[in-house]
Each structure stands twice: as structure tokens, then as C-alpha cells.
Chain A
Amino acid sequence: MATIVVRKIASTPVRMASQTWEKIIALLAPDDKSPARAELMAASGIGASVIASEATAADAIVVHGDGPQIRIYCLFSDDAIVGDGMNEDSLVSVPTVGEWEMSIPCPAEDLDWIQKKLKSCSSRITARAVGSDVLDQTKNLSAKSVEAAVDLEEFLKL
């Protein structure tokens, strides 16, 4: 069973969309000189536009590599202001060291141009339409098994 770590980041109207993406980058690639940081920065405009469309409210930005799968959601509106469910804690391990991939959700009508744009700036970041599955090693996970997945960080806090 895959281990899944979830983070929920406050976005609009607490943060601008681009500031939200910067916060996500800081979580995923804290070393500002790392190649991963540069690759994520190159996708900043796409990241911000996807966040502005609120595609990341119900569909996660998914990062998978050697460690646990990271799922990042954004909180909007009252949820962002109140911070209900917000979790912006640093990750125990850096998920963008070594081999990693990221899948970004976007509105279906934006998928075509976003895929093309991402292809021009990153070999690791792809897009998928909201509501669709992430095409990675966890694609066979059912929603039920995801809910039952162990949150390693929470477990270690016990």
C-alpha cells in the first residue's frame, strides 16, 4: 500500500495564486539551488493559473518519487480564511530528490494548451483534467484504499 502525505495550502483570498505556488515549491523543493526548484519555478505561470482556476481544491497536485506520495490541495474562500483543515507543515523528507514526477490538475478545457506548455518547460511535470486519475504507480489505488493509506508523518508523531 502506498503511503500518502497530504498538505492543504491556503490560497485565494489569503494568498495570490503565484504566492500559493511559491509556497508549494518551498514545501517540495526547499533547497533554492536544487534542480527541482528550478524546474518547478519554470512552471510557475501554469501553476498559478491552475490554482487561480481553483482546480486544486478537490483534485490534488500529486508528487511521487522514491518516498511517500505527496498530495497537495489548496484551500479557497472561507476555507482559506478560516484555515479549517489547513496543513502547511514542512515535509519530513524532500520528495523531489532523485527521480520524481508531478501531476497537476487543471480544467478540462485548459488541458491541451497546458500540456503543451508544460512539455516545453519540464520533463517531470504533467497535467491531467480535474476528476481524472493520476497516471502513475498509484493509479490502481481505489478511493477506498487511499482513504485507508497510512499517513507516515502522523504515525511517527504518536
Chain B
Amino acid sequence: MSAVVSVNTLTYTITYVTAKMLLSLKEIIREIGLNPSTLTEDWSTYENGIATWLESRHLQRVTLEVYDPETNKLVARWDLDVVYGSTGDGSLWVDIEAIRYAIAKAGLVPAQCKYDVKLHNKPGRPEVPGWRGCEYRSTDGFRRYAIGATIGGNGIGAETAYWRKS
């Protein structure tokens, strides 16, 4: 775990949490055997969406859906659940190792899989260019495994969980 920053503002926290959420997604994508380059193509769009909706407190979850492009069915899923109001000591921290440990248990996905990044908001979110409404793929037959808190800040954090076939 790396811990940083002893004094911060809400803006700094949002910037930090946004960056570490995207970094976490990149790590997950690479470690499960896929190519993160698709993620990088829309990096600033992801930043804008996550940061805007963290600031407005609409953002509840960032999800990585891994799917089979032939069937469009879910293969694996990772959730970064946003936790507002988490008390902290003023530091910002991320625990990538906890995610890597969980990836080792979750396993690789077939190389032909593709992925989507989806953000779940409370109703009434402000519009952000590049984003549109969508649905989750079905998780029928999958089981959710919680990893715990992986990103922390002053008043905003994230807990990670993954889904795999039960």
C-alpha cells in the first residue's frame, strides 16, 4: 500500500481518487490478460466522468465488464464501489497489491475477450460529454467477491469487488 499527502482539499481528493480508479482498472485489465490500450484511448473521457460525478456525489460505482464478443455475455466483472464520507486521517492512499492478490485468485480471462467501463450514478447526474445511458450485462450465475477498501481519501474512497462464475 502506498500512502501519500498529509494535507489535502476535496479537489485534490477527487483528482487523486479518479487517477487511482483508472490506474486500478488498467492494472486489472493487464493482469487478467487483456490489453489496456483500449482504456487509454478514452482516458480523459473517463477522467471527466469520474471526477465530475465524484464532485457532484452522484457516482456510486465504476465497473469493468469483461465479455465475450461473440456472445456478448459477461465473462468477468470488477466493481469499484464509491464510499462517501469515509473518515480518514488526511492521507490519500491506494492498495494496488490487494487488487493484484485478488486477480491471482480470480484468474485470467480468454484473450479474445473485450471490456467496457461503466459508471453507475444516482438519478439526476449532470451531463458529461462522451457518456450515455447503458445497462449492465447479466450477472446470472456469477458470484460477487469483496476485496475491501483499496482507495482512500478525505471523505471519498473506493471498495473493490469482483464477480466470477459460481
Chain A: residues with CB nearer than 8 A to chain B?
A: 12-18, 44-46, 48-49, 52-53, 76-78, 81, 109-110, 113-114, 116-117
Q: Which residue of A lies closest to B42 (CB)?
A: A45
Question: Which B residues are in CB contact (< 8 Å) with A117?
Answer: 37, 40
Query: Which B positions have Cβ atoms within 8 angstroms of A?
Result: 4-8, 11-13, 15-16, 18-20, 22-23, 26, 30, 35-37, 39-44, 47, 51, 92
Q: What would 22 A/B residue contacts be, using CB atoms closer than 8 Å?
A: A13-B8, A13-B11, A13-B13, A16-B18, A16-B51, A17-B19, A17-B47, A18-B47, A44-B43, A44-B44, A45-B42, A49-B26, A49-B43, A52-B20, A52-B26, A77-B4, A78-B7, A81-B7, A81-B8, A110-B36, A113-B36, A113-B37
Complex CA gap A41/B22 in Å reads 19
Contacts of A114 in B (CB 8 A): 37
B15 partner residues in chain A, CB cutoff 8 A: 12-16
B22 to chain A: closest residue by CB:
A52
Q: How far is the CA of A16 from the CA of B48 in the complex (A)?
A: 9
Q: Which of B13, B22, B39 has the largest number of chain A CB atoms within 10 A? A: B22
Are the C-beta atoms of B37 and A12 separated by less than 8 Å? no
Task: Give the shortest distance, in Å, between B26 (CB) and chain A (any CB).
Answer: 6
Q: How far is the CA of A117 from the CA of B39 in the complex (A)?
A: 12
